[in-house]
Amino acid sequence: MEGFIMLFNDLNIEDLYKEYKNYCLSIAYYLLGSITDAEDIVQDTFLKLKEHEKIEKDITNLKAYINKMIVNRCMNELKSSRKKKETYIGTWLPEPILQAFNSEPLENLIQSDQLSYSYMVLMENLLPKERIAYVLRNALGLKHSEIADVLKTTTVNSRKILSRAQIKMGRKSEKDLTVNLQKTYIEQFIWALSNGDIHGITHLLSNDILFAADGGGKVRTAINIIEGKERVLALISGISKKFFFGKSATAAIINNQYGIVVTENEKITGVFCFDWNFSSRTINKIFYVVDPNKLKYNPI
């Protein structure tokens, strides 16, 4: 359908929803960091299409048209959510998306090395327009003219917005650890958690490692970001001894990278995501999500 001129009243909204649902959810999720909010945005968008499906309107690029509707709604949500996060209890982390668990694929995200979980966290530092420009460029590979059209600005300004976003992200263009090395590290981390031998993962952590946890005020965890290898090791030791009894940990693909899923009675109770340092082959940051509201959309 894409690329042809058509009339709105010729479209079957139900078929469109089935065809573009996963694509739209991916974009909305990358923009908002919440699958719950993303689902609301996508459903609202297609309801709006349904309401106006009898209006005759030429569409030259259906996918771009729907994408613009999604982005516009996300823009409004981004502006309002910034205020909500200011009153959030503890550290706000994006909702992790479990893509493969026990070799079973669960969710399909647009694949991009620059949209891993650690990048999702970094994108929280961006202004709404900067985040939109960054996602549209890195997730969709849109041209600046197309981004400018979505942002209702000039191509020159679009380039400036993206440049500011990239500077704020502050990431180097180096590769992550290889998949095999990630998996090896994850297996060592799981063994340490399961056996209480936290010092066995000392070599995996960088000296200036950061540990950020999100319990959403519902699960007891560190409210502030923990810095430094000794303090992080002490915290992980506490997690292992006090909160790991009766639970199990399994390697999983989360947001396009290896992470760890913690389960109890076949229910997900926590997720570990990591930021890897390619040069030193260590872990830069650990993100620990235990807020039940951010885990309920990850069935096992």
Per cent of the chain over pLDDT 90 is 47
Q: What was the pLDDT predicted at 107?
A: 62
What distance in Å separates the CA atoms of residue 100 and residue 14, rounded to the nearest whole number? 28
Q: What is the pLDDT of residues 64-102, one digit of tens each?
A: 888 899 999 999 899 888 777 877 888 999 999 988 665
Average confidence (pLDDT) over 291-299: 80
Residue 153 binned pLDDT confidence (cut-offs 50, 70, 90):
very high
Q: What is the pLDDT of residues 228-248, one digit of tens each?
A: 999 999 999 988 887 777 888
**Closest residue by Cα to residue 57 from 24, 16, 11, 12:** 11
Buried residues in 207-221 as b, exposed as e (16+ CB within 10 A)? eebbbbbbbbeebeb
Q: What are phi and psi of 270, to 5 degrees?
A: -170, 155
